[in-house]
A = this chain, B = another copy of it.
Amino acid sequence: MSKPRIKTMEELSLAIGVSRPTLSRFFQDPTLVKAKTVAKIEKGLEQVEYVPNFFATRLNRKSTRMIGVIIPYLNDLFFTELLEAVEVAAMDAGLTVITQCSHSDPAIEARAAETFMSMNVDGAIVAPLGDHSDQAVYQRLKSRMPFVLMDSRPTTMPDVDYVGTNHAQSTGLITEYLSRVGEPPVFMAMPRVNFNAIERENGYVAKMNELGLKPEVIGAEFVNENWHFEDHGEAVLSAEFAQGRFTDRSILCANDRVAIGALRAAALHGLTPGQTKKGGLRIAGHDDYLLCPYLNPPLTTVAQDTASIGRKAVSRMLQLIRGEVIDDTPEITLFDGNLVVRRSA
């Protein structure tokens, strides 16, 4: 037999004999209600079919216990891994995560921010598109709710808390490793679409200068406007290899998706990176994309600590929501990258 369906809190109050204000307190926080009454309510709820209305129970509360998260694109395993880390940390903290994806479009990104404002989420964690993001929208977001940036830090938002990777350290680490085990690396860039692209390029150049080696950057120009970094890596390096260039060099790619294209270009030209003990073609990436161990050859890379980035973004958000942050100097947290040596370099 199906249970009677209860639609409103008034009906529920009548059905189980507990006053409306007490029920309201119970749904906000059961510890606000006497244990005996909690037991009575819980027993009553088992007898009926009732789902508290999310909007009604939250409308007059300061906190909605929801946070909004924006990621720039979906079809990228780095961002899904980062989003997963945020969702897991948020679930542990009892928060509901509302995710929106920018789909590489600043207008969609701006609309996602507006949606968060109109939903009264407790705060927003954003991995921004970068250069193209609508700065005015983000200033408005910041003025309205706790706001934490992750993954990429636009120079135009210096006053926002940020959690990400120390790209000078991570890129420096792998540049140093490649210089030690083979030919001095060339940097296979990605189009300068966001601040990470530039930070990694700068990190490479700084480390090469420190080592007394001549930095060399290729592929920073736009090949196409889509976000198929694999295409970019394959197109740029296939053209170079065809002219006999870089075939015995170390190639440090700006991210693993570019490196996947680079591995493909090498295979097309009959080259196998990482074959020799010293010297010869080597290909490395950045991020530790989930597929790296399964590539042919498996990709040497530097891992971003997505678990720590996600956890820290959520814990900072909780501090902001609880009003525990008095100092308004933005907090910048950078996690080191870890070298992951596989067969490609």
Cα-based distance from A81 to B298 in the complex (angstroms): 25
**Of residues 270 to 305 in A, which have CB atoms within 8 Å of B's CB atoms?**
290-291, 293-298
**Of residues 76 to 132 in A, which have CB atoms within 8 Å of B's CB atoms?**
76-77, 80-81, 83-84, 87-88, 91, 96, 98-99, 101, 103, 108, 114-115, 117-120
Nearest residue, chain B, Cβ from A261: B294
- Given A87-B103, A294-B234, A294-B264, A120:B54 Cβ within 8 A: yes
Nearest CB of B to A91, in Å: 7
Beta-carbon contacts of A40-84 to B below 8 Å, as 1s and 0s?
000000000101111111110000000000000011110011011
Contacts of A119 in B (CB 8 A): 54-55
Nearest residue, chain B, Cβ from A58: B55
Q: A296's contact among B77, B115, B118, B263, by CB below 8 Å, is which?
A: B263
Q: Does A309 reach chain B (CB closer than 8 Å)?
A: no
Contact of A75 with B117 in the complex, beta carbons under 8 Å: no
Nearest residue, chain B, Cβ from A83: B74
Contacts of A98 in B (CB 8 A): 98
Contact of A260 with B55 in the complex, beta carbons under 8 Å: no
Q: Does A230 reach chain B (CB closer than 8 Å)?
A: yes
Q: Does A267 reach chain B (CB closer than 8 Å)?
A: yes
Contacts of A74 in B (CB 8 A): 80-81, 83-84, 87
Contacts of A267 in B (CB 8 A): 296-297
Cα-based distance from A115 to B58 in the complex (angstroms): 13
Cα-based distance from A96 to B119 in the complex (angstroms): 11
Nearest residue, chain B, Cβ from A74: B80
Total copies of the chain: 2
Q: A77's contact among B53, B77, B83, B144, by CB below 8 Å, is which?
A: B77
Q: A80's contact among B75, B91, B260, B293, by CB below 8 Å, is which?
A: B75
Contact of A56 with B59 in the complex, beta carbons under 8 Å: yes
Cα-based distance from A165 to B51 in the complex (angstroms): 34
Contact of A294 with B260 in the complex, beta carbons under 8 Å: yes
Beta-carbon contacts of A128-155 to B below 8 Å, as 1s and 0s?
0000000000001000100000000000
Nearest residue, chain B, Cβ from A59: B55
Nearest CB of B to A220, in Å: 21
Contacts of A80 in B (CB 8 A): 74-76, 80
Contact of A84 with B101 in the complex, beta carbons under 8 Å: yes
Contacts of A120 in B (CB 8 A): 53-55
Cα-based distance from A131 to B89 in the complex (angstroms): 27
Contacts of A297 in B (CB 8 A): 267
Contacts of A88 in B (CB 8 A): 103
Nearest residue, chain B, Cβ from A117: B51
**Of residues 1 to 58 in A, which have CB atoms within 8 Å of B's CB atoms?**
49, 51-58
Nearest CB of B to A192, in Å: 22
Contacts of A59 in B (CB 8 A): 55-56, 59
17 additional A-B residue pairs with CB within 8 Å, beyond A55-B58, A57-B118, A261-B294: A51-B117, A55-B59, A55-B119, A55-B120, A74-B80, A74-B81, A75-B80, A75-B290, A80-B80, A230-B294, A234-B294, A260-B294, A264-B293, A264-B295, A264-B296, A264-B298, A296-B296
